[in-house]
Each structure stands twice: as structure tokens, then as C-alpha cells.
Structure 1
Amino acid sequence: MKKLVELNDETYAALQRLAVAKNLSPAEVIAAMVNEGRPPLGGDHLLFYLTGADFPAAADPVERYLALLAWCATNYATDFADFISHQESGLRYLMLNRDEINEVRARNHARQIDGTQFWAVLTIDDATRRRFVCRLLEFIGCHDETVVQACRSLGFTEPTGFRLLSA
């Protein structure tokens, strides 16, 4: 027997976005969230954020990029810090004094990621930004469909090359 659930327009739109991102029907998304016998939508907390009301509301792509980084830094603080600390570019800034760091920050139009001590360089091109986001999201354990949805939400085009799949 079918039962009806009443949702407001905003909640239904978020459910639709989530269903599209997971290639499921809205009913299947709800069932996956509440049924014990089905595999959970675990690891998709970012997907809920991306398809919720707040993230799509930011019209500026730079603000969405910074919001995504802030979300990752807040929800996966240790992994985010570990990922950033292993970036090749990180070592060259360790030997700079405060004035040199401020000069680099200004030249790169760097902005601090909300709630963190990290800064995002905004002068990099979209392809480089996309690669960075993909590597970060894979590092923190996001599913492939979540990575794809994040890239779409940030307005990045689909990659032209092949991606290695993790085991």
C-alpha cells in the first residue's frame, strides 16, 4: 500500500537534486535513507550539502568554491589538513616571512577559507581548480557521483582525460 508524504517545495527540490545526483528516484533516495535492509547513502554528507538549499543559493562560482572548501575543512578537518600539507606548492611558502607571504597572497588574490587557517588561491584556472577539488574529494572518501555533482555545482566542465579509479 502506498503512503503519501507531504513536502514543501524547497525540500522537494532538494530531494529531486539528490535523486538526480544518485541516479535514483526520489522514493528510492528516501528508502535508502530509512530502510535498514538497503545500502545506506553513507559518505554522501557532501552530496546532501551540495543539493540542499544553501549551497546552490550562492550565485558566484568563487563563493561556491570557497564554500565547498570550507565545508570540507570543517567536516573533514584532519583529512583536509593532511591533504593540504602534502601539496607540492606548500613547501615553498614555509621559508617566506610575513611581508613575502602577504605579497604572494595579494598577487594570487588568495582568500581565507572560512573557519580555517587555510587560504585559497583564486588566480588558478578552472581546469586546475577542478583537478584540485576532485583530488581533495577523493582523498576525503567521497563517492564518484558526489565528485561529479560537486564539479557540476561549481560549474566545471567534464574532464577530457581518463581518471584512475581507486581500488
Structure 2
Amino acid sequence: MKHVELSEAAYDALMRLAAAKNISPADLLTSLLGAERPPLAGDNLLFFFASLEFAAQSDSTARYLALLSWVAKHYACDFADFIAHQDSGRRYLMLSRQEFHHVRTHNHATQIAGTQYWAVLNIDDSTKRRFVCRMLEFIGCHDETIAHACRALGFVEGNGSSFRLLSA
């Protein structure tokens, strides 16, 4: 048996992730590092949730913006494609600068750090949760990783009636 030395923060993060998946820490590391399956987006996302960068976020809004920024930076093409296909995206293209600033102020929009994108902040948590779930599914996250993301962002579970369409 081999031994690995971890900082207290890394150990605590490992224990949280293992508890969230209801498996032992050794099994979690094996599943994250295992070569039996190709890595998916969710594997890297779990490391982000365990990072000091994410833990340093003081409130749910900061954590939401940090997640959007992380996805936009690490999956830039997929994020751009996902955003481009949102129904609401086209209506802002024809606005003047003054009209845009009025809408931005009204929606409490803030620029996502390190990106050209803006996040609307005055929407309810269930709408943010649906957006995050769709976005993470789009970049290839596992269902368990999406559920973990929702818990990490402080979103309450849905009413249980949600379903996902499976692609062929």
C-alpha cells in the first residue's frame, strides 16, 4: 500500500467529495484518476469545487459567477456555443449602448470575470439552477457532478419531476 501526503485543505476537500458520492476516499481517487474510462468535464469540475479558489467565494452569487467563469475559461468553445443557442441572446444585439446599459442595470447584470459574457443576477435560484444544469450537461458532466454543483452553489433540489432527454 502506498501513501500520499495531503494538506489539510486537500484532505478536507477529498473527504467532502467522497461523502457527496457516498464512497470511500480511495474509491473516489480511483474513479477520478482511473484509466478505464475517458475523463469527462465533471472530473475537472470536481477539482475546481475542492479548490481554495472556489472555497474562498463568500456567498452564493460569487460561487455562481466563479462557476460560470471557470466553465467559460476551461470549455470556451462549448460555453460560447451554449450561450449562442439561448433564446434570450438575440434580443440584445440590436440595442444601442444606452439601451444596453439600461437593461444591464435593470437585470443587475455583471460581467463574468475573464470573459466577454455577462450574467443576469436578478433571476431566481430555480432559474439559475436550470441554467447551470443545462450548461454542465452540455459540456459533458455526469449527473452526480451536476447534482454536486447544485449543492455547492446552494441550490435546493428540484421537485423531483424533472427529467432528461437522452440523445441517440
Q: Which amino acid counterpart does residue 152 of structure 2 have in structure 1?
A: S
Alignment partner, residue 162 of structure 1 = 162
8 Å CA contact 1:21–1:146 kept in 2: the answer is no
Identical pairs, percent: 56
Q: Which runs of 5+ in 2 are unaligned?
A: none
Q: Which runs of 5+ in 1 are unaligned?
A: none
Aligned counterparts, 1:87-166, within 5 A: 87-160=86-159, 161-166=161-166
- Distance, in Å, in 2 between the alignment partners of 1:10 and 1:41 is 24
8 Å CA contact 1:49–1:55 kept in 2: the answer is yes
8 Å CA contact 2:10–2:50 kept in 1: the answer is no
- Distance, in Å, in 1 between the alignment partners of 2:11 and 2:2 is 16
8 Å CA contact 1:33–1:40 kept in 2: the answer is no
TM-score, normalised on structure 1?
A: 0.90
More moved, 86-95 vs 21-30:
21-30
- Distance, in Å, in 2 between the alignment partners of 1:22 and 1:147 is 12
- 1:162 deviates by 1.9
Q: Which amino acid counterpart does residue 61 of structure 1 have in structure 2?
A: S
The aligned length equals: 165
Matched, 1:8 2:35: no
- Distance, in Å, in 2 between the alignment partners of 1:119 and 1:86 is 15
More moved, 71-80 vs 10-19:
10-19
- Distance, in Å, in 1 between the alignment partners of 2:104 and 2:88 is 13
Aligned counterparts, 1:3-82, within 5 A: 3-36=2-35, 38-39=36-37, 42-43=40-41, 44-82=43-81
Q: 1:95 to 1:33 in 2, by over 3 A?
A: closer
**CA deviation profile, 1:98-138 (whole Å, cap 9, x unmatched):** 11001000111100001111000000001111101101110
- 1:32 deviates by 3.2
- 1:4 deviates by 3.5
8 Å CA contact 1:70–1:113 kept in 2: the answer is yes
- Distance, in Å, in 1 between the alignment partners of 2:78 and 2:21 is 24
8 Å CA contact 1:32–1:41 kept in 2: the answer is no
- 1:41 deviates by 5.3
Secondary structure, in 3 states, of the residue corresponding to 2:88?
helix
**CA deviation profile, 1:54-77 (whole Å, cap 9, x unmatched):** 212212111100000000000010
- Distance, in Å, in 2 between the alignment partners of 1:87 and 1:7 is 42
- 1:21 deviates by 3.2
TM-score, normalised on structure 2?
A: 0.90
> Alignment RMSD, CA only?
1.7
